[in-house]
Amino acid sequence: MNAEPVLSVRELVVRFATDAGTVHAVNGVTFDVGAGDAIGLVGESGSGKTVTSLAVMRLLPKAGRIVSGEVVFRGKELTTLSEHEMRGLRGKEISMVLQDPLSSLNPVLTIGEQIAEAIRAHEDVGRRAARERAAELLGSVGIPGAGDQLERFPHQFSGGMRQRVMIATALVLHPKVLIADEPTTALDVTVQAQVLELLHELTKELGTAIVLISHDLGIMARMTRRITVMYAGFVMESAPTVELFARPRHPYTVGLLGSIPRAGADGELRPIEGAPPDLERAPVGCPFEPRCARRIAACRETMPPLVPAADASHLVACHNPVPS
């Protein structure tokens, strides 16, 4: 990483207060995103990827709270920002695309209304001007007949079109950072590729940094320059994408990568034997310990710190890392 990071997450801790007790969803997550950079967050279901990104946006559900840590955006600490100032950043400086493009569009409002409201939330433009920009935007993401399409409703669009709309909307005000939480999971494979291509082109063109969340390591390999591997709300390993694929050091990462067919085709995360830990108990030691083949005595006692492995850009949190 060269330049000053545009977004920097430090030791982020998020907990949920539920009827059953406290859920330790995120337990000290740290990562940086450089301006115009593309990083990935991977991890099994429940590892805290979505909660982390919602915490960055300060859009956690009511029960969730940022307990400690920092989220610094262009030198500004977001965790303590007033709701008013935070609102001014959402959608303008930091945007988000959610996983399911159907459920993230309101079924009773037209596509045009939903794009226009994103513009009008931040810019003092009239209805007409906003509409014109919405039409332009639809054209730019390859939806033909953009003018008429504005009057249509989400259910009249295909999944791929809806996700194009979501991406276009998220990027309409040229944000510095785009968080895309599994943006293609709900789409079929051919459409996935098109949507990713669009995402790639637009962010490149606008110089938007992207935080891509995905289960799909094939997508990660193509789309990101650096990957952060999460497990049970902890960062297990963080390295440049090429390095991570070539020399994974953390036993959990090795388990994940074991699923990628050598041919280089897309691969989903292979389920590693065993189940993630119960997040309702305060974590002690390494959360991966019960499932780890390389565990040693220290693993039950203390959580290993995230430290440089071979070189400074390759970080790993393990008492007994895989030799490179």
71 sits in which H/E element: strand 64-73
Binding partner of 50, given another protein, ligand SF4, Mg ion, none, CB within 5-8 angstroms per partner class? Mg ion
Residue 250 to residues 3, 24, 213, 240, 260, Cα–Cα distance (Å): 27, 22, 19, 14, 16
- Near Mg ion in 31-70, by CB under 5 A: 50
Binding partner of 245, given Mg ion, ligand ATP, another protein, none, CB within 5-8 angstroms per partner class? none
CB of 178 to another protein, least distance (A): 11
Binding mask 43-82 for another protein (x = CB under 8 A): -----------x--x-x-----------------------
Using rule CB under 8 A, residue 159 touches another protein: no
The bridge status of strand 38-42 relative to strand 226-231 is parallel
Using rule CB under 8 A, residue 118 touches another protein: yes
Binder of another protein out of 18, 68, 80, 106 (CB under 8 A): 106
Binding mask 7-36 for ligand ATP (x = CB under 6 A): ---------x-x----x-x-----------
CB of 284 to ligand SF4, least distance (A): 12
Which residues on adjacent β-strands are paired with residue 228? 41, 238
Tokens 């400690």 correspond to what residue? 68
Please check whether residue 309 is in contact with residue 324, taking contact to mean a CB–CB distance below 8 angstroms.
Answer: yes
Closest CA to 181 of 298, 85, 95, 268: 95
Classify burial at 282, counting beta carbons within 10 Å of its beta carbon; exposed 0-12, middle 13-18, buried 19 or more. Answer: exposed
Using rule CB under 8 A, residue 121 touches another protein: yes
Rank residues 16 and 288 by Cβ distance to ligand SF4 and give the closer one. 288
Give the count of beta carbons closer than 10 Å to the beta carbon of residue 265: 8
